[in-house]
Structure 1
């Protein structure tokens, strides 16, 4: 069995290449120790025919069998968290008891306990006492929450629990007060999370690690939630922010944070490690926001008596509050995991302009959102796609959005913006019929004269278009000439179309129409306009270019 440090090295190398010095710094170990660990890992990889470590420059992991490696890592994690599971369920256990339940050697158990204490020292400490054995010192509330969170993150552990351990519906219905308390949970947690809390209470109650009744457990939660709701968080934010001077919308930020606190109290997610890497870049970009978040999180934790509030999530909301600018495309993201949705929300607001994003975590929320807003995009996590099969999904993603996802979503948003603007600026008054000359330049001059005479463009703009064309900046899309300039206009762009009575040969291509385009020099978000026009019109036949109705349909139709 590998040591925890060796497993950590393996996990790091799965994501990136590192030098020995970098690994030594990250793992707080000597360079010599890292070299020995690399040799052990490399030997194991080759023995299992999974891959090897290239040591020619930095340490680089080369994998032949990704599935086998992922399975190995998951199984190691499960061994570690199985030990924690039993220590949460039972008030105390001897090393022999743990070995019998987990089928692990005692030496490995001691190593796992050391690892858990190092990694989660902010949540708990596993202690040993003569006559008592190995135990966790926790309050009832924290023990149940930790166990529920553990089962939520490691679903394979759930499969090992006998069905008899689950709290029956009959038991719940007998207690009217409990039934009423459970009804209040639906807005803050999923049904699965609720069931896991019921199961965790049942497991701890059965093995005498708690004396709290189920009703008392949920009553205590509700008291903390009420306390969070009554916080004057705007005042607290303003006071703490005096030392950091982060420009945020305090009211919007406070509203988001109150909801986050309620969800954290309702079902804390202590074992979700998916946020660590994506947040590194954000922390580097917004250091003061995350420093503010750390101070705020500690104060809230003390006031609300919560075991742990992750300041990283607080930092995400603070950064979100820095980006509440005017936006124009409504999108819904369906993601049941709050940790993933928080990161994706931040990534989208960072990378995609003009986007009003509504994040929903249940089908009911999605249905309400679709009724309430003019939704252009629906982004759905692949894992939850089956739950929204009846809704037209625009984009399917898998967990945390990567660079490719963000580029594709940005293109979808740009396309939606362009289509919306075409509807606004291009109408029948912008469609002209022109008895053209055989010479293209004379024909273009006549078209521009019509526009300037009707005060649709200025003489300066007309001259700028002619100069660009004369300089060889000619764009032809299919059978369409597209003269264009950047200009000072109120709209993001303007379109004027001239249907030619007779085709003109331009650069050896038959041209049946001229589409004159003026782009606002300040509207950087419309840089994809010409790519969009090319995609819509590259195969347009003369009949499409002959009438306003046909051309307009071609410009607006979905690909």
Structure 2
């Protein structure tokens, strides 16, 4: 089967032609890795189609649309449908129903099991076959999920009945006093009950326990859970965060999703750009499930809300100065930049005295010089010449430059060479043993406090480890004086973490009260993802790591 990245490549090409560079950027991989992915996709497509390259980029030629859809994920739906309507199916019978080989069915079941974050959905018994590990109520809910995703999954009559029921479901929500439900869910649930009469369940019986759980999901209850998990980040809990999480959890509980889903690509970027938000989401979901006893595992969405809250409460605006002899032009550029780039404050200076005063009175990240003569002065602030009116090209360059400015300007302090070392791990050591040994070494040389080391080791034991382009980034938030520190560690022997080969480690500690420092993870991700994987795996020294880190954003 295709992995999520390969499915995304195939899905993108099913709508348009895309250049190799653009496709690689979209998938956050190198062009070399993209070519390998395309070769594998073409192998899996067989006679169904082929990805070809031309002057305008790559395009997908399709011969049999159904097979393409199966590769994009419909085989999972077909698998669930077969097991919903059959108590147990041997491998051969299951392969015949899905029109797949036995090996492909085994791969498919393995993929579904990996996606199931909580309870396993499919069980296997030798000499018997495969079956769903769900009770009758869960089977009805699973079928309802499948109908919502594809109304024609049980035939065209199902799709027609679904569209008719949606109209009446709107008024039924009021009749049943079920305000957090949706017409789509109620219509699909009604059909699922009818298609599975052997369960002897009704819509009212299925909604009854859900309504009881909803009664305990209040803003006060969510605030209590947040208070337990969000203490490392002061000021994070505001009314907007409480309201957003409460509403989302109410919707999720009212319309439960049994189907396992692959984490959405855009949401998983939270893991690299806002690891604090991602870690908080894991703790929040775990505490929520324990304290309120609800089946909720949507940590992607929770992480997104936490990331937005961090933006609101932890981000300080970057000050930029436009130095121009034309006030009208500078004013236009100020409006353009502040509208197109969030989190910046643009100050205008039209003569040398104003420029010097602007640089003295507040921290300035960058001076945009639009003046014929720039005054000679002793100042460490970076200067970048811009055209008279800033256009889209300049805006994109400005975004990149601002993203890497902190890394580039403070890399020597944030990533001290004196603390870097090579860790002599044995080939058989696992990740938990390695990170424990690294942290013990850093405590002994006063690079980490005992509390920071314990936090890092405990965090890594939870799983969902942060790996950026084959570089492991164990991390923690604390109250240290230095806002951000990253310690480069080379491993004598590579090991697998989260199914990725890792040869180097960057141990990171940040001050939870930091503002721009919290964005360093985002800058790190941009810099590291801009490098070839082989280059990062081949790093052996601090100097080679710094060269790799600074290259994408060097002036």
With the length of structure 2 as denominator, give the TM-score of the two structures. 0.46
Normalised by the size of structure 1, how large is the TM-score? Answer: 0.46
| Bigger CA radius of gyration | 1
For CA contacts below 8 A with separation 6 or more, give which structure has more relative contact order: 2
